[in-house]
Structure formats: C-alpha cells, structure tokens
Amino acid sequence: MKALVCVKPGEFEYREINAPLAKPGQAIIKIRRIGICGTDLHAYEGTQPYFEYPRILGHELAGDLVDFDKAPGFKPGEAVTIIPYFNCGTCIACRNGKPNCCTTIKVCGVHIDGGMVEYLSVPSSSLVHGEGLSYDELALVEPLAIGAHAVRRAAIKPGEFVLVIGAGPIGLGTMEAARIAGGEVIAMDINEDRLKFCRDRLHLLHTVNPGSGDAMELLLHITRGDMPTAVIDATGSRAAINNAFQYLAHGARYVLVGLQKGEITFSHPEFHKREATLMSSRNATREDFVKVMESMKKKKIDPTTYITNRVGFGEVKEEFEKWLDPANGVIKAVVEL
C-alpha cells in the first residue's frame, strides 16, 4: 500500500509499505479522510516536541472498519473515527481516568506512525462509532475534542468572558466549545483574515488583534474593566503564552493548549496577587469526543465550515508546504482517499 512519510523536516516521500495484518486487540481501518493539523505542520517544520523522524503523520482520521478483534458493538464496513492517543491503561494517569496524559502515551502520527496511509491498524479500544456523521465531520471530531477538553479544564461558567488566543483550527474549536458552555468569547489573533473568519463564520462579537492596537485597552473595554476570567492559549507561541499572563482577571484560570519546546516565564508577584490558576490541557478523552459528536448531531457545530482546502492523497507532498503560509488563508486542509 502507499504511505506518505515525513523523512526529515521539510521533506516528504511516498513509499510502498506492507498493509497491516489483523492482530489480537487491533482493528484495521481503510482511511477515507485525513485532517491536517498544527502538529503535522510543526512536524514538517521541525518544531514539534516529542518527535522523531522518519514518521508517517496523521491523526485526525475517518475511515471504514475493515477488520477487528475485541470491539463489541462494531460492524465491518461501518464508518469510524479513532481516539488517537493510545494509552497503557495501568499507569497513575490511566487509573485516575486521565488516559489523555498516560505516562507512556503513544499518539498516532507523533510517537508512532499515523494515518497518511491507505490502511491503518489501531487498538480496538480506540474506535469510535461514526454515529451517522460524514467522513469530513468524523475527521474533525478530534481537533474539536481538543478544544472541548480545554474548555472542560477551564470550567467555563455561563456569562463569563473567555479569551481564546489563536484562531487556528484548535483555537476555533475551543471558541466553539466555550460558546456552547455559555462563555462570552473573545478571539485574539494577529491574522486579520482569521479574525474575520471568527466574526463571519462563528458569529463572535469580540475580536482583538494585539498587533494593530492596544490589546489591554480593548480587553478592558470589552470586559467592562474586569479582564477575562478564563484565558486559553491555542497558539503554541512562547511569546504569546508569556504575554497572555497580563490578560488575566483576578481569580482567573489560564489554560495552555498550545505547546512549544521552551520555558515559560511570568511575574510571580503579578500572578500571585491575582490568585490565578495555571494549567495545561493535553489531548482529549472519550467524554470530549462524545460531547463534540453530540454537538455536531444537534447542529451546534458545523465542522465543515473550517475546511478551506481539499486534496487527494497523491497531491499532499506537492501542496503541504503551501499550507504553512498564513497568506494562503488555510484554516483546515483535508486529504481524501
């Protein structure tokens, strides 16, 4: 079968590899859709933590179930997606209901080879029923679940101001989840096209570009002098992460979804006097997947809104680098097989 391998930063190569064989506890999926996310882009750039080359990318997946073992309730041929964070089930995190941060986690397409293939073998425990959703919708459940998990970590309360920094796919999904939770969402980005997308497609009332005005003044105006009580970073930019500490209201929660390789720094006195809470949000859980799929079925979220680019599997190598350039206006690229 054909696979697309990222052999080193900046270089893809199509290869012929063996199709997976049925194994105990595993399921085989014929891949139909692959969503391209920031993790894939960072891996191609060489800036993704926890990464080694060569690697087959791809973890936002939808496909048809071909074969499986130990997957009660599933049927051959049904449309599925997966929870691509393969966990051990026995470590302290797994025992405490947090398989998303398992101590030996293997994320599909990051720690192990992923879904840019014709057929993929995954643990049967990772399968998720398609619930009548389209391949496009199923491929976008995972990135939206990342946002849903971040919002759950932030414990958003109805009516509070929620600042989401970064209007890429993960940030947009986080904004949607915060809106569904009842938050008054403020989108922040330095890309005006993406802020326009937030206003036009997500119907957000509040957008802030810190590169074209006084962000502090705007946030004070929007929040009527209080500042946001929940701040969620979805940029993965060290500068943006460090800078956002100043946007916290007293008593606020700051959730880091974006990931970068270096250290973060902030003023301890400023953070302390606010009695602020800093936390990370890693991956998502089945609960978050269920929440997102229910929201899709109830039309609270239209994930196809995010798809701006669509290519065939054979075109990915040629097109991929274009998706890195913000000037090209890519929100979400989807690969069809």
Mean pLDDT of 87-92: 97
Element (DSSP H or E) covering residue 257:
none
Q: Are strands 206-208 and 184-188 parallel, antiparallel or unpaired?
A: parallel
Distance of CA 130 to the CA centre of its chain: 19
Q: Are strands 230-233 and 161-165 parallel, antiparallel or unpaired?
A: parallel
Strand, helix or coil at 230? strand
pLDDT in tens, 270-303: 999 999 999 999 999 999 999 999 999 999 999 8
Mean pLDDT of 105-131: 97
Distance of alpha carbon 141 from alpha carbon 81, whole angstroms: 8
Confidence at residue 141, expressed as pLDDT on a 0 to 100 scale: 97
**pTM for the full predicted model:** 0.94
Return the half-sphere exposure (C-beta side, CA atoms, 13 A cut-off) of residue 272.
Answer: 3
Confidence at residue 235, expressed as pLDDT on a 0 to 100 scale: 93
Please state, rounded to an integer, the average pLDDT across all residues of the chain.
95
Contacts of 29 (CB under 8 A, 6+ apart): 61, 63, 64, 65, 66, 80, 82, 119, 120, 121, 122
Which domains are seen in the chain, by residue range?
A: 2-139+302-336 (3.90.180.10), 147-280 (3.40.50.720)
pLDDT in tens, 6-17: 999 999 999 999
pLDDT in tens, 126-165: 999 999 999 999 999 999 999 999 999 999 999 999 999 9
